[in-house]
Amino acid sequence: MPADTCDDTTRDRKRPRTYSNADEHRKIFTNHPTLYFEDGNVILKCGWTLFCVHRSLLSKHSEVFRGLFTPAGSAEVKPQEFFRGCLFIALDDNSDDMESLLDIIYDGLQADFPTLNAENFPTMAALLRMSTKYKLNRPRGAMLELLRSEWPSTLPKYDAKAALAPRCVNPPAEESFSTKDLGIHPAGVISLLRECDYDSPDLLVPLFYSLSTCIFKFSLPPTGHNISALSPADTERFIIGLNKLRSLHAANSQCPVYAVIHPSPDKDSRQSILCQYELLRYWHNTVGPQLLDMKDQMCHPIDDWGKVSQTAMADGIGGNVGMAGESLCSSCKVKVLNHIVLTRQKIWNALPELFGFN
């Protein structure tokens, strides 16, 4: 693989400066195998890797690159440096990150990520960071949209996503396990978005909720790895939001006897009492255990209310037979089903406020 060294040179102040390593020991640079173009006119240095690229192409897509390539004309501005006859720019970026960004630019700003998983997440994260830093709006928007598809902001999209593939943060025990099967930890995504100056609730709220569903996987003694990626402010936001979410879920898990009170109890007092009794029995035996299941520490309120709704629709609210051969009347069945569905939606709608985004 081609390599080169940078030797000390005598510079004329009136001439463009040639890159020198006068302040450092001699270093060997390696040309990137696919992004060092012989007809390029700008050399980007990232670590020990050199990229020889086309100034016009990078300037076209990035105002940041355009500013780097164009001297401002101020006496305080550092003189331009040249190496191998090309404009030389030393950057503090990781070479792998720069490779990802340049690949996108040379591919017409097309990002190919059919699905997001633990294996390709580092590449996606690098693209989001770099496209943010160098102000490439199209790749940045594509990466954010990819994250939105993984953590939807609406309940119907959340249900559709959950039905396809439940997210797994811890690896399964099967020998056939692949890194592609791993989920992506929400705390890492939150940290990435903060790093990229993204603060919109449309993505952060679903991520904080997703993080709250991982609590049952935390272990003792605590390692701190699960939320260590969060900033102190987001850690506090998460703790407060988690407490509020659990409280709201528990409060709404009480049997809604008021939902089956008949409009004219004097005319059908017996049926009204039967409906209330049947609902209490059904809630105690079926709904309560599902909503307050401590096996996962009530970590999935949205999913739990969804299961309760499906169960209620499947068995007709406690079945066809109740006390003395009676059951909930058809009107009360509709009311209870509506209550369950609306409660689930209410908890979902409350998430922005619970996690402090309102």
Name the residue type at position 331: S
Predicted local distance difference test score (pLDDT) of residue 222:
65
Predicted local distance difference test score (pLDDT) of residue 314:
77
Predicted local distance difference test score (pLDDT) of residue 170:
47
Question: 128 pairs with which residues across the strands?
Answer: none
Got the DSSP string for 46-98? ETTEEEEE-HHHHHHH-HHHHHHHS----TTSPPPEEETTEEEEEE-S-HHHH
Is the peptide bond prior to 206 cis by the omega test (within 30 degrees of 0)? no
Predicted local distance difference test score (pLDDT) of residue 271:
80
- Positive or negative CA dihedral for 118, 123, 129, 131? negative
Give the SS3 label for residue 178. coil
- The structure tokens listed for 82 are 């040249």
- The structure tokens listed for 45 are 């240095």
Predicted local distance difference test score (pLDDT) of residue 237:
96
Q: Return d(Cα 205, Cα 45) in angstroms, integer.
A: 38
Give the SS3 label for residue 319. coil
Instruction: Estimate the crossing angle of helix 201-212 against helix 186-195, to 10 degrees.
Output: 150
Predicted local distance difference test score (pLDDT) of residue 177:
38
With CA atoms as reference, report the closest residue to 126 among 112, 143, 110, 150: 143
With CA atoms as reference, report the closest residue to 198 among 144, 150, 251, 126: 144
Domains and CATH numbers, the chain: 3-106 (3.30.710), 121-170+177-230 (no CATH), 250-354 (no CATH)
Specify the long-range contacts of residues 223-228, CB closer than 8 Å, at least 24 apart.
226/185, 226/187, 227/187, 228/187
Show the DSSP H helices in 173-231 as ranges. Answer: 186-195, 201-212
Helix (H) or strand (E) holding 281: helix 269-282
- What pTM, to 2 d.p., does this model score? 0.80
Q: Is 276 exposed, middle or buried (0-12, 13-18, 19+ CB in 10 A)?
A: buried
Report the number of secondary-structure helices (H) and strands (E) in the chain.
13, 7
Average pLDDT across each block of 10 residues of the chain; the chain has 358 residues. List them in order.
46 48 58 94 93 94 90 56 87 93 88 79 92 93 93 95 63 44 82 95 97 75 75 95 94 88 70 85 86 77 92 65 56 88 96 95
